Amino acid sequence: MNILDIISKVKHKQCLIKDEICFFIENYTNGNIPDYQMSSLLMAICLNSLTDCETYHLTMAMLESGKTIDLSGINGITIDKHSTGGVGDKTSLIIAPACAVCGVYVPKMSGRGLGHTGGTIDKLESIEGYRTSLEFEEFISIVNKTGFSIISQNENLCPADKKIYDLRNATGTVDSIPLIASSIMSKKLAVSADCILLDVKYGSGAFMKTRQEALKLAGLMESIGQMAGKKCRCDVTDMNSPLGMNVGNALEVREAVEILQGKNKGSLYNLCVQLTADMLELAGKGNNKECTEMAENAIDSGKALEKFRETIMLHGGNYKICDDVSLLPSAQYSYEVKAECDGIISEINSEEIGMTSLLLGAGRITKNQTLDMTAGIVFDCQKYDNVQKGDRIMTLYSSTISDFSEISRRALNSIKIM
Q: Which of the pair, 84 or 190, is modelled with greater confidence?
A: 190
Residue 85 has pLDDT above 80, yes or no: no
> Residues 210, 342: one domain?
no
- Please compute the mean of the pLDDT values over residues 70-76 and round it to a whole number: 94
Residue 367 has pLDDT above 70, yes or no: no
Within a domain: 163:
yes
pLDDT of residue 363: 84
Q: For residues 104 and 124, give the distance between their C-alpha atoms in angstroms, rounded to a whole number.
A: 21
Residue 112 has pLDDT above 90, yes or no: no
Residue 347 has pLDDT above 80, yes or no: yes
Q: Are 193 and 79 in contact (CB under 8 A)?
A: yes
Residue 328 has pLDDT above 80, yes or no: yes
- Please compute the mean of the pLDDT values over residues 245-252 and round it to a whole number: 96
Q: How many domains does the chain have?
A: 3
DSSP string, 154-205: PTTB-HHHHHHHHHHHHHT----HHHHHHHHHHHHHHHT-SEEEEEEEESTT
Q: What is the mean pLDDT of the chain?
A: 93
Query: For the segment 120-167, what is each residue's pLDDT rounded down to a tens digit?
Result: 899 999 999 999 999 999 999 999 999 999 998 777 889 999 899 888
pLDDT of residue 289: 97
pTM for the full model? Answer: 0.90
> Residues 137, 269: one domain?
yes
Q: Cα(first)–Cα(last) distance of the chain, in Å?
A: 61
Q: For residues 77 and 194, give the distance between their C-alpha atoms in angstroms, rounded to a whole number.
A: 6
Residue 14 has pLDDT above 70, yes or no: yes
Which class for 351: exposed (0-12), middle (13-18), buried (19 or more C-beta within 10 A)?
A: buried
Q: For residues 271 and 268, give the distance between their C-alpha atoms in angstroms, rounded to a whole number.
A: 5
Closest by CA to 224, choosing from 182, 191, 177, is 182
Residue 368 has pLDDT above 70, yes or no: no
**Of 89-93, 114-118, 206-210, 216-220, where does mean pLDDT reach its minimum?**
114-118
Q: For residues 356 and 230, give the distance between their C-alpha atoms in angstroms, rounded to a whole number.
A: 39
Which residues belong to the active site? 82, 161, 168, 183, 187
> Residues 117, 259: one domain?
yes
> Residues 233, 139: one domain?
yes
pLDDT of residue 283: 96
pLDDT of residue 114: 63
Closest by CA to 137, choosing from 123, 127, 124, 151, is 151
> Residues 313, 345: one domain?
no
* Domain interval for residue 13: 3-48
Within a domain: 57:
no
Within a domain: 59:
no
Q: For residues 281 and 290, give the distance between their C-alpha atoms in angstroms, rounded to a whole number.
A: 9
Closest by CA to 358, choosing from 192, 247, 226, is 247
- Whichever domain contains 154, its CATH number is 3.40.1030.10
Within a domain: 154:
yes
> Residues 411, 300: one domain?
no
> Residues 317, 345: one domain?
no
* Residues written for the chain: 418
Residue 245 has pLDDT above 70, yes or no: yes
